[in-house]
Amino acid sequence: MTKSSLSGRKRNPSFWRSIGAIFGKDLASELRTRFAVNTLLLFSVTSLTIVSFSTARTPLTKEAQSALLWIVIFFSAMTGLARSFVREEESGTADALRLTAPAESVFLGKFAFNCVLLLCVEAVVVPLSLIFWAVSVDAPLFFTVVLFAGNIGLSAVATLMAAIVAQTSMQAGLFAVLSFPVLIPLLFTAVRATLLSMDAVRQVGEIAPVIRMLFVFDIVMLTLGFLLFDYIWRDRK
Amino acid sequence: MKAWYAMLGIWMSAVIYEAFALPEIRGLVGHPIAYFHPPIAIVTFIAFLVAMIHGLRYLRWNDPIHDVKSSKAAEVGLLFCFLATVTGAMWSKANWGTFWSWDPKQTSIFVVLLIYAAYFSLRSSTPNPDRRHRLCAVYTVIGFISAVLLMFILPRIGFSLHPNDAMMGGGSDRPVRLLFWASVLGFSGVFAWMMELAVKLALMEMKIKEMSQ
Amino acid sequence: MLLCHVIKGMSTSLTVTNLCKQFEHRVVLRNVSFSVANGHALVVTGPNGSGKTTLMRILSGLMLPTSGAASLEIDGTVVDFDERRREVGFVTPEVHVYPELTPVENLKFFHTVRGLEWDEAEAAHWLRRVGLDARRDDPVGNFSSGMKQRVKLICALAHHPSLLLLDEPGANLDERGRESLSGMVEIQRKRGMTIIATNDPKELTLGDEIVALRA
């Protein structure tokens, strides 16, 4: 046994390995039960289909397309991303995690897992919406970057809020209530940015502030999450 | 202490009187609101900042008194936020014809209202006291940072109907600016007073509960 | 052959001073004090509601006391919470291992997040010790409660903790399981400290000393 060093927390290889272990464990669990992925995909595809079919006759404006895409992604996130923490608390494994893993690893591992879940949703919803709505994306690279940045912001906030609500008595019911207002800056900006990517006729000058906002939001939320997670996760002095 | 409150009462009465007495500001319709809405919004932010500071102090010291102060600041802040939203809507109606103009700042203050309403949802869904204090303290931090993002950074990416700095900085006369800041001061005093009362009440309730056990 | 890592020259102790815990106005623990040193086992007993589980949770680091202290020392240095994850093993009815993972995967997971090196051979050894070798690739969710308890035990022991906390450890175990348990407590005694919280008279003999909590 390696004699444990009694120094403070260190960012040594074991830190990264523990993040990998938590991420891997959630992934393995998910592959075996497929619960979250199924719920997420079912919800997102269903809502996308409902919207598309009901607006089939009236062509959607680019603004509406952009907004609806993010609405579907957001609500999918609200449906499925709380699960990883709620299930840990319910099945009594959260305490096992508290006892053995460093808090930052839990945050980053779960965050990474949520990113992957959302990526799965986006991988299905985005192509489908492009087909259903006959969307032409003028700047595909920008479009992808916006999706990616939105993904990170959504996952960061969702991970934080999931950890909070998992410890309440209402749990998943509170998840959307807490997450939504905090995510507004991200959602508004992402919708605007996606719109810009779909419609290059608009002012190019608008791109910079929008990218900046997404960047700022992601950095702020990830940093806040990283600093605060320990306090959410366990009792500490 | 009573003298203090009397002074505050006189101060606010003077502010309110002057708000109606001063002539209209050019370019702004419904002018008395101009002396109420922005100061109330400013005090909302002060309230949430205070809530965050006490939340951080709870996280550092684990002393329940900080949780009491944090939650009471958030409570009074929520009231001010509600008033800010309502006065904002009134001003919107007077100036631009509709109660809701989708102006970024108007939307933002409403979202801030949602953030702190959610704070109280969180509070009431956590029966375990240790957890409640801890989670709510963390939320006050997340809430305040989000509020800052919403009110000050988000509007920069879109165009705003808000008159913005017209009143606070240059471009307006001295009496206007004086009254504006006097109003801010007055409302801050009202906030401090309400918070103090709320905290005292909460502490008394706690003591009564303790004694009846 | 038992692969035992014997740590020479490590003296460990747990000192509990005036530990109090109250939830709002309900006092669960009042001025609990005791100490355990290397090579000893302590049994904590008391009627239901006397705070045994609360005490164990505080000792494990999951919960903070309202006042008082429980300090774990290794070679004279106080171990802070972050290091406790490697030095403490906790088995309690409320905390479970991952049901969708196999025992091997569970062991590997807890080892890795604790920041320790994973040893395949040692894992096999632990599984054999508790008689779960045949089910090593079966998800723990399919196990009986006694088998689950055995998995929890090895997950708490495999990292060679200085302090082993057992809350009602014999609850789901049969005769053979209990024998396994006593054997493991014996080994742990030599290595470090053990605290067992129980109401079962059979388990009272597992410790050198008994601390009785009153309701």
| Shortest Cα distance, chain C CAs vs residue B110, angstroms | 35
Of B128, B130, B213, Cβ closest to residue C25? B213
Residue in chain B closest to A164 (alpha carbons) equals B135
- pLDDT-based confidence at residue A34 (cuts at 50, 70, 90): confident
Residue in chain C closest to B209 (alpha carbons) equals C25
Query: Among C20, C163, C149, which Cα is nearest to C91's?
Result: C149
Residue in chain A closest to C111 (alpha carbons) equals A100
Which of A100, A167, A237 should one mutate to test binding to chain C, selecting the residue with the greatest count of C CBs within 10 A? A100
CB contact under 8 A, A100 and C99: no
> With contacts defined as CB-CB under 8 Å, which chain A residues touch B160?
none
The residue-averaged pLDDT of A94-112 equals: 94
> With contacts defined as CB-CB under 8 Å, which chain B residues touch C25?
209-210, 213
Residue A1, domain member (yes or no):
no
Q: Does residue A31 belong to the interface with chain C, where contact is any CB pair within 8 Å?
A: no
Number of independent structural domains in chain A: 1
> With contacts defined as CB-CB under 8 Å, which chain B residues touch A167?
126, 128, 131, 135
pLDDT tens-place string over residues B107-151: 899 999 999 999 999 999 998 888 999 999 999 999 999 999 998
Residue B166 has pLDDT above 70, yes or no: no
Q: Does residue B124 belong to the interface with chain C, where contact is any CB pair within 8 Å?
A: no
Residue in chain A closest to C119 (alpha carbons) equals A1
Please give the domain boundaries of chain C with CATH numbers for all domains.
Answer: 12-212 (3.40.50.300)
Query: Which of C172 and A146 is assigned the larger pLDDT?
Result: A146
Q: Does residue C39 belong to the interface with chain A, where contact is any CB pair within 8 Å?
A: no
Give the whole-angstrom CA distance, residue B29 versus residue B163.
11
In the block, tokens 């945050």 appear at A107
Give the whole-angstrom CA distance, residue C67 versus residue C78.
18
In this prediction the pTM is 0.89
Residue A96 has pLDDT above 90, yes or no: yes
pLDDT tens-place string over residues B45-104: 999 999 999 999 999 998 899 999 999 999 999 999 999 999 999 888 887 788 888 888
> With contacts defined as CB-CB under 8 Å, which chain B residues touch A170?
121, 125
Sign of CA dihedral A59, A63, A66, A67: negative
| Shortest Cα distance, chain C CAs vs residue A87, angstroms | 11
Residue in chain A closest to C65 (alpha carbons) equals A235
Which range of residues forms the domain containing residue A72?
A: 14-233
CB contact under 8 A, B128 and C64: no
Q: Across chain A, what does the average pLDDT equal? A: 88
CB contact under 8 A, B128 and C23: yes
Q: Which of A66-75, C13-22, C203-212 has the lowest mean pLDDT?
A: C203-212
Residue C7 has pLDDT above 60, yes or no: no
pLDDT tens-place string over residues A149-190: 999 999 999 999 999 999 998 877 899 999 999 999 999 999
CB contact under 8 A, B135 and A209: no
Q: What is the DSSP string of chain A?
A: -PPPP-S----SHHHHHHHHHHHHHHHHHHHHH-HHHHHHHHHHHHHHHHHHHHTSSSPPPHHHHHHHHHHHHHHHHHHHTTHHHHHHHHTTHHHHHHHHS-HHHHHHHHHHHHHHHHHHHHHHHHHHHHHHTT---S-HHHHHHHHHHHHHHHHHHHHHHHHHHTTSSSTHHHHHHHHHHHHHHHHHHHHHHHHHHH-TTS-GGGHHHHHHHHHHHHHHHHHHHHHHHHHHHS---
CB contact under 8 A, C113 and A4: no
- Alpha-carbon dihedral angle through residues C54, C59, C65, C70, given to the nearest 10 degrees: 140
CB contact under 8 A, B141 and A228: yes
Residue A5, domain member (yes or no):
no
Q: Does residue C24 belong to the interface with chain B, where contact is any CB pair within 8 Å?
A: yes
pLDDT tens-place string over residues B34-50: 888 989 999 999 999 99
Q: Which C positions 61-120 lie with beta carbon below 8 A of chain B?
A: 63-64
CB contact under 8 A, C64 and A235: yes
Domain spans, chain B: 32-201
CB contact under 8 A, B129 and C25: no
Residue A7, domain member (yes or no):
no
> With contacts defined as CB-CB under 8 Å, which chain B residues touch A189?
154, 157
| Shortest Cα distance, chain B CAs vs residue A174, angstroms | 7
Residue C215 has pLDDT above 90, yes or no: no
CB contact under 8 A, C64 and B210: no
Residue A2, domain member (yes or no):
no
> With contacts defined as CB-CB under 8 Å, which chain A residues touch C100?
28-29, 32-33
ipTM, interface predicted TM-score of the complex: 0.88
Of B118, B157, B158, Cβ closest to residue A181? B118
Give the whole-angstrom CA distance, residue A142 versus residue A207.
9
Q: Does residue C154 belong to the interface with chain A, where contact is any CB pair within 8 Å?
A: no
CB contact under 8 A, A25 and C98: yes
Of A12, A92, A100, Cβ closest to residue C94? A92
> With contacts defined as CB-CB under 8 Å, which chain C residues touch B130?
23, 63-64
Q: Does residue A202 belong to the interface with chain C, where contact is any CB pair within 8 Å?
A: no
pLDDT tens-place string over residues C80-92: 777 788 889 999 9
- pLDDT-based confidence at residue A2 (cuts at 50, 70, 90): very low
CB contact under 8 A, B157 and A231: no
Q: Where are the beta strands (DSSP E) in C129-190?
A: 163-167
CB contact under 8 A, A95 and C61: no
Contacts of C45 (CB under 8 A, 6+ apart): C52, C197, C198, C199, C204, C210, C211, C212, C213
Residue in chain A closest to C66 (alpha carbons) equals A237
Residue A91 has pLDDT above 70, yes or no: yes
Query: Which of B167 and B112 is assigned the larger pLDDT?
Result: B112
Residue A6 has a pLDDT of 35
Residue C4 has a pLDDT of 38
Q: Does residue C191 belong to the interface with chain A, where contact is any CB pair within 8 Å?
A: no
Structure tokens at B30: 């419904």
A171: left (phi over 0), alpha (psi -120 to 50) or beta: left
CB contact under 8 A, A100 and C85: yes
CB contact under 8 A, B62 and C24: no
Residue A3, domain member (yes or no):
no
